[in-house]
Chain A
Amino acid sequence: MKRYFQDVLVLARKDLLLELRARDTVPAMLLFVIAAFVTFHFALPSQSSDLAAKGLLWVALVFTALLGLTRAFVAERNERLLDGLLLAPCDRSAIWLAKGVAVVAFLAIAEVVALPAFSIFFSGVDGATIAGAVLADVGIAAVGTLLAAMASVSRARELLLPLLFLPVAIPVVVGGVGASVVDNPGRYLGFLALYDGVFAILSWASFEYVVTE
């Protein structure tokens, strides 16, 4: 068990180090989310309520996550790194968990910038929205990492991931928007936690089949 988490830690460290050196995913996500907010400002008619802006916040977050996820397995694919990882004496699900941890880290960095930017541009962000974003990050990373691994095997690659990811991400949007706009966000946060649990277990158990023959 301890060994497993050591493997995860080493693999996640590799992903974070790669990003720290190349810096190609996180800056793109940050720029994208700000650009999306600016676009939304011009997309929203002047009389629209804060509620509409809150809905668009979640659209921006999901698409930013999608942008990060399309890059998640680029190194593994281009440099044939995945073959090496599969040969390493570690559990295959550790690869998924490490990649998921890295994706959560990228999303968290993007949101640390995006949520204050949203509150400056549109309206204040409450605790429930932040809690919703944290729970949504976990779910998005769990499902998204698995789907990104699937898409990286296919010929269509970047084209395919949004098609696979968005239908699965609809419940995340429902939970997130619900947590942001209603007075008692408990049910929505509970739903997001349920989503995280169910899809994390499923993805953890099935990742091995996606990367092996």
Chain B
Amino acid sequence: MSTWLRNNQLIALAGGAAGLVSAAVALIFFYAPVDRDGLNQKIFYFHVPIAFTAYVCFGWGAWKALRHLWKRSPGADLESYVAIHQGVIFGALTLATGSLWAKVRWGHWWVWSERQLVLFLVLFLFYSAYFMLRFSIEEGPQRANICAVYAIFGVVLIPISILAIRLAENFIHPIAFNKHGPQMATSQFATFCVALAAMLVLAGALYRLELAGKRLDAQLRELREALA
């Protein structure tokens, strides 16, 4: 069993993700109670886990970048890139779900006093530039180094930006919305945990899938060069 798991990590992860996501959707719509916010509160179970997963992806990307600079681990550069790519996808989803929520809750597609959303916009801009940077440098060790440094900058920028957005509220928006409303019930918290696990495993599966594709690409290129 353990050997099978080791050899088929991607299949196991994809299966786990499918199961967990279905379970999370079922729990969100049939188990978690509808609170006084009504049905739109359900998006909380998607929005927050997706946002958290995006952080984990950015963190993982920075960790791999550090491994590249520090230990020169082979492949760490590609892993860092794929993790950040996943992070940007989940970041874009965070922006979309957050924007939807803001529209239903407050009647506007964009609310500048919603800190998480503003932070994700800054991070989204920052990490989108990562791709511009990466694809305008010749492939090679220097590109790997520069991308690694930029990825590490990203995780340092996150807390600094959180602080900045908090400080900015004092002179931009003095009134903060209380986003959570009532305290979470146990059933809501359980649903939230399953949804979070589902998103994390889904991100893991996508990460593995993209990595496998990219590695295959690289091998194919090497083979072509060897044959040419």
B186 CB within 8 Å of chain A: no
Q: Is the CB of B170 within 8 A of A156?
A: no
| Least distance between B143 CB and chain A CB atoms (Å) | 8
Q: Does B153 contact A (CB under 8 A)?
A: yes
Q: Are B164 and A170 in contact (CB under 8 A)?
A: yes
> Is A191 touching B150 in the complex (CB atoms < 8 A)?
no
Instruction: Knowing A191-B167, A198-B156 are in contact, say whether A156-B132 is a contact too (CB < 8 A).
Output: yes
Tell me which residues across on chain B come within 8 A of A89, comparing CB atoms. Answer: none
Answer yes or no: A155 CB below 8 A from chain B CBs: yes
Residue A73 CB within 8 A of the other chain: no
Contact present for A160 and B69 (CB under 8 Å): no
Rounded to whole angstroms, the CA-CA distance of A163 and B136 in the bound complex is 13
Chain A binder among B37-45, B121-129, B196-204: B121-129
User: Are A164 and B129 CB-contacts (below 8 A) given A170-B161, A171-B164?
Assistant: yes
Cβ-neighbour of B125 out of A166, A174, A202 (below 8 A): A166
**Interfacial chain B residues near A213, Cβ < 8 Å:** 140-142, 145
Interface residue? B218 (CB, 8 A): no
CB pair A178 B170 closer than 8 Å: yes
- Whole-angstrom distance between the alpha carbons of A48 and B161 in the complex? 28
Q: Give the CA-CA distance A177 to B168 in the complex, in Å.
A: 9
Report chain A residues within 8 Å CB of B148.
209
**Are B132 and A171 interface neighbours, CB within 8 A?**
no
A111 to chain B, nearest CB (A): 21
User: Which residues of chain B are within 8 angstroms of A178 by Cβ–Cβ distance?
Assistant: 167-168, 170-171
Supposing A150-B149, A167-B126 touch, asked if A155 and B137 sit within 8 A by C-beta, the answer is: yes
Judge if A210 is at the interface, Cβ distance under 8 Å.
yes
| CB closest residue in chain B, given A206 | B149
Please report A residues at the B interface, Cβ cutoff 8 Å. 146, 150-151, 153-156, 160, 163-164, 166-168, 170-171, 174-175, 177-178, 181-182, 187-188, 191, 194-195, 198-199, 202, 206, 209-210, 212-213
The 7 closest A-B pairs by CB, nearest first: A171-B164, A167-B126, A154-B136, A156-B136, A163-B129, A174-B164, A213-B141
